[in-house]
Each structure stands twice: as C-alpha cells, then as structure tokens.
Structure 1
Amino acid sequence: MTGLKETRHQSLSEFFTILQHVFAQLVQAVERINSSPHSKHQVENRVVEAGRLKKTGKESISYLTKRPQLLVQDDKLGFIPMNGQRYYPSHAIETKRHVDYDTNENRFIRWVLLRIASKLKDLKTRLTEKGRLKDPLLARKLNDMQSQLQRLLKLDFLNVKEMRQLSVSLVLQMAPGYREVYRNYLMLMKGLSIQSDLFRLSMKDLAQLYEYWCFLKIHDLLSRKYELLKQDIIKVNRTGVFVTLDKSQKARMVYRNPRNGEIFTLYYNTLPSGEQTPTISQRPDNVLTLKKNDSDAEYKYIFDAKYRLNPAYEGTPYRRDYKLPGPEESDINTMHRYRDAIVYAEGSGKELERSMFGAYVLFPYHNEEQYQEHKFYKSIELINVGALPFLPGSTKLMEAFLDEIIMDSPEKAYERSARPRGTKNYYENKLIGKNVLVGSLREVQQLDDALQLKFYHVPLENISDHKLLTQLEYVALYQSIKKFEPRGETGIHWYGKIVDWKVIRRKEITERPARPGTEEKLYVKFTVSEWVKRDKPIIPGGRGIYTLLYTSKYVFDRALEIAELKLETEEDLRAWREQRRLGPVTVELDHEQVDLASRVLGVGRLSST
C-alpha cells in the first residue's frame, strides 16, 4: 500500500522496508558484475638489468638517451653503434601491462554495500536497545543480510580504495549489473508514502484540527526526551491501521523519565482517574499528570487548545490593557474555572481537594520572544494560570516549560500553585520539615573550636537518612550537663545557618585533631555563616542528647526544654501549641536521651509545684 517518495529524513523503518524489496536483486546484480567487472589497463614501467629484460620499447630509448652512463662499451657484444664503437646498456626500461579493477564504478559498488551494512548494524543495535529484537524471523533476516553483504565485500573486484566522489558514468547507467545496483541505490535513498485509502481523511473544523495538532505536538516534544511506555491513539486490527483521535474518543500516552524513572501521563479529552466536578462537567483538551519520586501526590496541569488570537489593534481595550497580541480574556477565565472546578477525592467520604496545579491556554501566535512581555505569560509564574504560544514554528516556550515542570521537585511543584490567603502562616505553625540538626559535643574544647572556626562535624554513620542533609538549614550545639555544668552553660545556647556541607574523611578536617582509628571514617562537615546565641537557652530538663536529633525551626525557636524538640506528629504539635498558650509545657518521652526516644508519651502542663 506504499510507494516511493523524496525525503530528507529517511527513517530506518523505511530503509529496511525498501531494502527487503530490492535486496535479492542487489545481490544478483553484484554477482553478475563479478563475472565481468569493469576494469582499466595499467601500464607499469620499471628499471631492470639488461640481462633480465624480457620486453622493451621506445621508453628505453628515451631513458638511455638521458643516461649515457648506463651504456657499456663492448665491441663484441655491443649492438648500439656510436662514434665507431659498439655499446650495450647495463639497465633498461621494462614495460608491463595488467588489468586493474580499482575504478570509480567498483568503488561505488563497495561504498553502497558498506553503507547498507552500516545501516543494518545501526538498526540491529537500536532494536536490541529497545528490547524489540525478539522476533526470530526478523533476527534471522537481519543476520542473513549481513552475512550476504560480508560475502560480497570479499569478492576480488571489490578490493579497491574508498570512494571519494560520485560521478555518474555511462558504466553505472548502462553496464549490466552496474545499472541495477545504481537503480537500487536510488531507491534506498527514498522514503515511503501511503498510496491507498488506508487513512480516510474528512473535512475538519480548523479549531478542531488545531486541537488535534496541539495534542500530537505535545506528544512529539515529550517523546524526544522521554521514553514512551504506552499509547492508545493508534490501534491495529486485521483491516489496517486506525487513528482514534477525535472529540468523542479518549487517548492516553504514558512516558518514563530515563533520568530518574518517574512516570507521567498525557491525557486527551478526558480527566485522570479519580477526578470529578461536583458542579458542571469539565473536559479540558490535554491534561499532563506527573508522579514524582518521594511524593504521594500527583501534579496535574491543563493545556487547553484555543484557536483564537486577539490581535490587539490600536484603540481597542485589549491593546490598552495588554499592549500585545495574545489569547482572549474569556479563555483565561476558562483556565481559572478548570483549575478551581476539578477536584479529587482519594476515597469515598474523603475531603475534596483541588487537584489541578496549573492551567494554560495554547493559542496560535508566532512571535515567542515578543510574547514573553505579555501579562498572560508572566502570570504563569505568579499564579500558574496563563497562556503559551504554540505553532509549528513556535514551540520553544512550550518545550522549555514542559521540561521545567517535569524536572521540578515536589516542593517546587507545590509552590507553583496559588494558595488561599493565610496558607503561609498556617503551615509555618505546623511541623512541615526537620531543617535543624542539634548535635552533641564530645568535650568543652570542641565548643570553643566550633565557635571560633564556624563549623561543626559529625560522623556520617550517625545520620541514618542521608536525604535529610539536603533539607537541613541550621545546626545547633547541645552542651551536656556532665561536661559543661562547671562552666555554667548547659543545654542549647548556640545555633547557626548552614552555608555549606560536605562529606569528607576525618583526617581532612584539620581544625581539630582526630581520635586514633577515626582518620579514614567519613564525616559530615557543616560550615555556618555565623553562630547566634539564643536569648533563652533550651535547658536539658533532666534529659540529654546522645548523638544528634532533628527538629523544625518553628519548634526550635519556641522550645524551652530539649524534650520539646522531639515533637514529630501533627497531633502532638497541636496539643503542645494549645498547652503553651496556657503556660509552661512538659513533654514525656520513653527515653532519657531525647534522640534515642522512639515516641512521645504525652504533652501536658507543668504543675504549679
């Protein structure tokens, strides 16, 4: 059902399809050339002794005329008379003629076979990498072709030099065998076109075609960098190939990020599973769902195609408000509606949550550089609602934005979306992350060195979860009762903001001498900008810290005893905050060492006694 067509970008599938059709003819043509290859006669002249000379010619006369020293006088054996004497040459030119197959035409034949062998090798490698070389018939066919090519390349007439340029001679055009190879070569350079009614195209509305194109182009941009795992756009049955992309159908493309293994899905004309609209049904054109590592939430973004452009003519309200051409205001309002109306519930009876993190209009506009000054482009960064120009020649902004949201961390993805007023203060009053490390000190001198040199070090083995290193922002120093009570300073007095940290061996920390046997152990060295002394120290309260513990800056700033730094659950935090409003609080733990305690036994007010 296909025919040949001119193409600049031939795929390996097209090449292999054409090669299967012409390979037998190609092999037969090369074998026919082998029976009578094109050649040229080469004349070789060399200087030999006269006694070994078999055949000579005029070349010897010219050679001896310029070299009289090669003539030997001998009146008996000489046969060249000169000045009454006879001479014979000691050396002369011997002429040999032989057949040479190193012609441009034979070089071309060898180049064609090598090029085919290289493409077959590339095809085999690509299929193996994708795990698709499981068809025994296909594998056998590729191996047979490669064996045939290697056999042909060993023919004597193909023992020639590399082809430097292609000149189409009469031999390539008319000589038996050569003309067949040349014709097959021209066919192998072409692509394939559908020549039957395999695809039946009907008239489509231009806006609907733009909607189709937006989905397919988003897929194209994603498939260039990410691995396609699953698709249901193109379906195959016994009657042929069918494209199911239309307004009444749903499509889904599943990809995998090769860098980190994250899975994300592009939906067309449907909402992801679990999404609902309690009021009016919403159906955006394209929804991109991202599932990020280390996060249970899914981050969903709407890309809605709108084939409408406001040209912002002089004197119009749009020109006055936005200065530049862009999407219609009503389309931006639709994005606000999509983002707010589509919600998600994890199960029956669960609280509904807004699930769309961003919504964007895709509209036909070509000048991407100019559009970056538009209000609806800048609004994407502010509230994650806006518009992006999208045309066949204008896809850079869209491609960059897709890469950005795919590579976002879960925290950054969450921060992109606009939140209700008061959210920041609300979450500041929650235990949202442990960004403070509280470490113990082995001796008094370690405190003096740390304060003077602005650093703190701790064995890497004491940090159970290395991921915590990336979220730490502060380090605090705990001064135990046993070592620091004589100085009158116990508890936590000093803390500093971390400006750098690195994992190194103990012997590389030269600020303090290493204990014997620890030189090769891995340590984490924290560098702080400056040490800050608390107005009120966090007192031990009868407890201590054995190695180190983690807490949040919110709890650290408000704690009065080190046991309060162990608060980890939302319930304990809420109880602690409520009790603190009424007076001093006691936190009961299941171990005297706060960092070794496994749970909080209770939170209550201190008695008046």
Structure 2
Amino acid sequence: MASPHTGSPNPNRTVELLRIETNWFNLYLQGKPFHPTVEALQLHRRDDAGWVEARLQPQSLHSGLELRSIALFNPEQQALTDWQVGDACPPLFYETQGYELVVELEDDVALTFYHDNQHVREAVLPKGRRLLSGVLNFQNEVGYTELELRRDGKPVFRLQLEIFPSKLDYQKDYEAILHEVNAQIYNLSFDFLRRTFQLTGLRETRHQSMTEFFVILQHVFQQLVQTIERMQSAPHHRMRMENRLVGAARVKKAGRENIAFLAKRPHYLAQDTQNGLLRLGNQRYTPTHVLETKRHVDYDTMENRFVRWVLLRIERRLRSMKLLLNKKDRAPDPVLMNKLNRMQSDIGRLLKLDFLRVGEMRQMTVTLVLQMAPGYRDVYRYYLMLMKGLSIQDDLFRLSMKDLAQLYEYWCFLKIHELLSRKYELVKQDVVKLNRGGLFVTLQRARDSKMVYRNPRNGEVFTLYYNGLPPGDKSVTVGQKPDNVLTLKKQDAAVEYKYIFDAKYRINPAYEGTSYRGTYKTPGPQEEDINTMHRYRDAIVYQASREQGQPEAERTMFGAYVLFPYPNEEEYRAHDFYRSIELVNVGALPFLPSATTLVEEFLDELIMDSPEKAYERSTRPRGTDTYYADKMSGKTVLVGALSRREQLQDLLTHRFYHVPLRHFVRHGDLANLQVVGIYQSSTLFGAEQAGVRYYGRIKSWSILPREQIREIPLRRGAPTELYVKLEVEEWQVRRSPIVPGGHGVQSVLLTSAYMFQRAKEVAELRLETEEQLRDWREKRRLGRLNVKWDRYEVDKASELERLDVVEE
C-alpha cells in the first residue's frame, strides 16, 4: 500500500480506523490516521516507498459469534474500506498515541473486556448495559497486543493489533536493537506482562528469568494438568513381593521357597509318621509354620518421584513469583493473582493423587519410561521446556519486551561498549552487573558499574561508567545521574578527561511552520535535552581538599552529548547541535543500529586526542592552572653540548654546566632558565650513548670570566671571554633518553619544559610555534614521528621541512 501524499487532509484529525460488525456486538477503534513524527521521518516504508505490512487479526472464539464485516481505514482513499482477513494492512497504531475503543453490545449479550496488562484492562469499562469504552495508550511499548472480549469469563473474540514505534523504523532499527541487546546480554530486553508482546521461541540457557518461566508455564500448564490426571488411570508401578511366616493351617498357598527355608529351620517341623509331607531318612514330618508370599502394587518408583518433583518445583517458583508481585513498588493485579492461586490449587490437588504420594527424588535418571511411556514422556517434555529460555523469533510464546525508552538506554550503553571493544583491549568487564533476583533481568545501577579498556597503541587506560558517576565526582546542589560517562586517562596529563553520553529516546521532527524548523532546518534532539547536557557539565564537580582553607570544587566534565534516534547522519552534520560540539563541546549525536558512524568516529577522536586538544575542547574545567602553567612557561630548559668526552664526568662531579655568554641573545632568556640538560653527541660518545641522558634543576647562575671557573682549568692558549656558570642542585638520569634521531646540538638549544618532558628525539625540542606543537601533538598519538629540519644542528636550523608519522 503506497504511502499517503504530502499534504493529505489533516492527518491529525480523529477518524474511525477500524470497524468490526458481528451478530453480538459492533467494535470501533478511533484515533489519528497518522503519527506526525512518523510522517516527518518517513518511517516504516518499503524500498518502493510503500508502507510495510502490519498485523491485524480478528478471531472468533465461539461458534455462536459471526464476523459479518470488517472495515479498515485506507490512507490512500482517506476513508474506511472493506477488508478481508489475510489482506495487506498499513501501520495504523503507534506508541504514545491514544486510541478510543467502543464496543456496542446487543441486548441479550453481556460481554466484558480483557487484556493481560492491568492498566489496559482497567482503561476499558462498561458505560451502561450496552456499551464498553475507553482510551488505549500503549506508552513507549511496541509489538503485538491482544484485545479480548469475554462472555461468562470465557473468551469469545480476540483482536490482535501491531503497535509501531514513532521515532525509529520498526524493521531496520527496533528489531535490530532487540537482537543486539539480547545477543550481548541474554534476556535483558524481556519484561513482564506489558501492554505489548513479541513472538518468541525456545532456546538453551543457564540464566532463565522468572518471566520466561511463567510465559512457558502458561503455555503448557493445562496440558500438564490433564496429562497427570490421565496418568492416574494407569500409573507406572512395580509388584513388590512380601513373605510372612504363618501357621501351616492358615496358609493358602505355599511356594517352593519353603523347601530351602525349612531345611535351615528344622524346629518348624513336627514328626508325623502317617501324614507327613516331608521325608527325611525313614521319618516323615509336617511343617508347623511356613512362608506365605503376597504381592502388592507399589507406586514409589523413580518415575513417579520425578513427576512429584516437577510439580513441587513449579509450586515453589509460583510462590516466589507471588512474593515478587507483592512488593510495594508493583501495583496489585487481582486477575493475575487469581491465576497464580488457581495454578497452585491445581498443583496441590495433583500432589494428593495416590500414585504421587511417594518419597523424595534423590537423583535424576532418564529411563525408558520417561522417554516412551504415555503421560510420562509428556511430563518429561514439559519439564525440559520449563527449563529453557526464550529467543526472539516467530514462534509460539508471547513475551513482553521492556518499554522502548529503557531498551534504547540499554542499547546505547551496550553499543558503545561494542564499538570500543572492537578496537581497544577490554581489561575489566565486571561492569555489566545484572539483577536476576526479580521477575526479569535488569542492568544493575551502581557506582562501580564500569568497563575498563586499554589503547594498544599507547597503553592508555579509559573507563566507561553506566548510570553513575566516577569516584569523587558529585553534585553539590541537585543530584545528577547521566546514563554513560567515558573517562580518559592520558599520558603526560595530571587530570582525567570525562565525557557524558546520555541516551534520550526523544526527537524533534522539525515540523513545517515550527520555530524548531525555522532555527535548525532538520530534525534533531529536543532543546531541553541540550540544556540538560549543559546542566550536567556545570553541576558535576570534583572536590579536592586544599592544605588550608575550604575544599575547592572543580568542574570535571569536559563534554556532554545527547544520543538520540535519527537515521540520517549525513543530513545531521549540518545541524547546529552537531556543530556546537566543536564550539562548546556540548551537543548531540544520532545513534541507531543503522546510524553509528558519527558516534564511532567521535569516540575514536576523543580517545586519540592529545591532552592539550582534549583540554581545548572545553572551557576552563578542572586542571586549568596546570594547563596554563605548562603552556605559558616559555623556554625554561637549556640543552647544551660538550666539547670533550671527559667534560661530562667533570660536570657530573662538580654539579654545574658552563656556556659562553654570547649564546644568549637576550638576558631575559637566561633569567627564565630552570633546568639544564646535557647533550652527548654521537661523535664523542657513540650511537648507543648519544642523546640527552642527564639533566638537573638550576640552583643559581652567575656570569664570570672563563679563567675563574676553576673546576675545569682553562686550556693554554684558549681565548678568555665571559661565561655563564649554571650551578645544579643534583644531576638526574632521564627514564628514557632523548635520542639524536638524525639531528644533533652544536652548542646550546633553548626549549620549554613541556617539550623537554615529552620529546623522544632531539629534533622535537626545536618545535616552538603553536601550529607546530598542535601538529606534533596530534600526529604523535598515531605513532612514531619523523621530524626533519633544514640543518643537522637543530639549534642552528631555521625551517621545518617535515613532520610525518612513520609507517611501521
């Protein structure tokens, strides 16, 4: 069926969507013919732009009920048209949209409305003797739903509808979310008796939830009860032989076993020369007592013990379910409780049957009786079914899913984890803590719910927190609890860089004529969700105690981003809330199974950022003082060459370094010096010992003639000139030396403490402009660099020729 033309008559008006006429009642469903968000986003279309088919299945369950006519709203004709069971049906019913149900009854027919979900069941009530009506709203739940009419407590009519998502595509995204969530954590998407359900089939599992057990039990319970009742007529048994000693006159039938018995017990024999039955030698004897053998039926077999054990096991789980349902956070459902009570009553009645009054089963053995005997093989099959889990597929069992907002939140976390674990090493995965103690499985929300990864390129460790803040972070005003927090600990950085990824199952479709459309042009996140990200970033702080005074609160979140359901990533790149990420590090990213590119690229970008770029993404968060101290400190390190090999030992022994004053163009450069490093050339020390290995903090400096530096006597004939003598507190050895790497130092090179701490090759010490540093920082994180200047001696070089990543 083709999609409606743009501009079709008022899609927001309320119309009759479905009419069913029978000899007992007429049923009407009224509501909006389209969902405006679905129309704006063009969801649930086939490749040829036509609608996907929805399920509509009216079913008569009583021989006296006749379906006379069915009419369905036609989006093309904008009116009701005749419809036959089996014909195509367009999507007509959506989440978060209200639909009015009206049932007009005939005079002599009394019907009631039923639905498994209590809230839906209580929404439709009698209005007089001949009318049932109410408004149905399926909230954020999608899938199939069944509306049932009953007469005298028995179902006579059932209508199955399909409820579609309003913010994402049913087939492309919703089904993918269900399967991806269950693929990572089995049965996490399942829920208990919601407004809608999905069809499921059996599968093997070690972690069956109470919901799965109850769904399977409902399907097999009546068959199980009827099977055990039939077994009562011919239960499995065995004949037990019993021997008793009785007087010979009272015995009715004596068996041959008495011969051996009396031979060992002659005192039970009396001498009888005339009528003796037994002859021993020349004498005849008659027994006074003999053994009488009786047989009786015994039901205490392993197979009957197994049947009793199955019933007791079901009864225990029903009791546990009733305890969970009686918790204060769940509204009481009398219909469900009556169903559980009836099941318990039936089990209690079966346990009183004669053939089930047996002992306790101590071990499980699968005998031929359990596999082949009538009744027993059925009970064994039902037991195996009750031990299994469920998987989402087109099959018998009807199982509710979690509402779409919660399911989307789970999927966002698990998908981020999947994207990270593809490229980075998973160090610790006890983050996903499951709460299996309830009716269904949920992700446990705890402060220690986290995933820890390691970047194999540089060894940096980062953490993904679920529904909680990292240790030490909190809000001093109103409590904040974002969905996901990514924490990055980068090398050479004193602070952790933290980013919020908050899942919001909300989207503004940017309807024509709205202010959102005028401002942003295309669909995107809700403005209030972006405001929430600003609040998260500003409200979450870290409190570090000072040595004196009050604790100082510093903002720790460097960025906050909304994850929202939208499939068109290329179109969204032009959205203001995507561009705002670059400007203020607050914005939104589309995230669906069919749209993960932007999030994946952004995660990689954050992880590979240098500490400086990560810092520059935000505006004065925690670590501001440290950052600016590094960036604005200037050239405070002197790297000086040696003229002789022996000079190194003299400098180390006497803790100083001296250099001609003429190498300092400005006296301000000399005044800023804090550290001195010694460059050992390849010519003097060889390739293995070359580079910067020793450094020390400058204690004091002075300007004096060379001949006054008496620790190293002036060579005869050497010219005298002014020198700078740098007194060193203590020489230290670098953990990893700065190697020449194709360059060297001729005399003196001034550099910053920032570069001196991070450089791996001498050529890097010469980088000094902001552009050079930015380029070096980003490429450095991708691998080893090739930095080449226009001269071998970097202190004499003037132009940077190359700064490239070396391909390994």
Q: Which has the higher helix share?
A: 1
TM-score, with length taken from structure 1 = 0.42
TM norm structure 2: 0.32
